[in-house]
Amino acid sequence: MTPPRAGTFIYHSHWHEQRQLGQGLTGPLIVLESGAKFNPATDKIFLFSRDGVESNEPLLMNGSPQPAPMALGVGTTYRFRFINITPVDSDLTYSIVDATGAPVTWRAIAKDGADLPPEQATVKKTSGESITVGETRDYTFIPEKPGELYLRASSFQRMWVTTTLMVAPPQPETK
């Protein structure tokens, strides 16, 4: 297999697709430019799936209905890669809010494994972004202040999953 370009892609089974999708035979396929290295400290993947194949099965983020908190640092540039590989959630939405419920800002940079043209690669609020089945979306995000942020995804407005993003102050440089 030769990827068409660098970007965020998905793999999943087509053999006994419904059963295997519901059992987690899916994942991200991250293709980098020649010579680039994947850095898990700043490149964060959020894969949405279901614990089964029906719409009443729990919505999962990275395989969990209750993902562990994630540590981030003020002033660090992150690449967030969102993937919807659920079998039924064509209306999945996601956002990041602060402790008051106010959305934070990020820059949209890619969709379905392709960089966005400059006029679409804009800074915007993280308020109710939509992602359909089989779609990927990438953003750059730079936390501006320490504290807790909440990444929440919901589907059909009755299923949701949330993780806490713990933003730490910048660390002093050591000599």
pLDDT, position 104: 96
Taking 60 as the threshold, does the pLDDT of residue 23 lie above it?
Answer: no
Topology of domain 7-168, CATH: Immunoglobulin-like (2.60.40)
Taking 90 as the threshold, does the pLDDT of residue 89 lie above it?
Answer: no
pLDDT, position 77: 97
pTM of the predicted model as reported, rounded to 2 decimal places: 0.88
In this prediction, residue 165 has a pLDDT band, given cuts at 50, 70 and 90, of very high
Q: Where are the domains of the chain?
A: 7-168
Which of 13-28 are b and which e, b meaning 16 or more Cβ less than 10 Å from the residue's Cβ? eeeeeeeebbebbbbb
pLDDT, position 68: 94
pLDDT, position 9: 84
CA 110, CA 120: separation in Å to the nearest integer? 9
Taking 70 as the threshold, does the pLDDT of residue 20 lie above it?
Answer: no
Task: Report the sign of the C-alpha dihedral through residues 13, 17, 20, 21, in that order.
Answer: positive
Average pLDDT, the chain: 87
Taking 70 as the threshold, does the pLDDT of residue 115 lie above it?
Answer: yes
Taking 90 as the threshold, does the pLDDT of residue 38 lie above it?
Answer: yes
Indicate the helix (H) or strand (E) that contains 83.
Answer: strand 78-84
- Closest by CA to 155, choosing from 138, 131, 134, is 131
Residue bearing the bigger pLDDT, 54 or 23: 54
pLDDT, position 157: 56
Indicate the helix (H) or strand (E) that contains 19.
Answer: helix 17-22
Taking 80 as the threshold, does the pLDDT of residue 146 lie above it?
Answer: yes
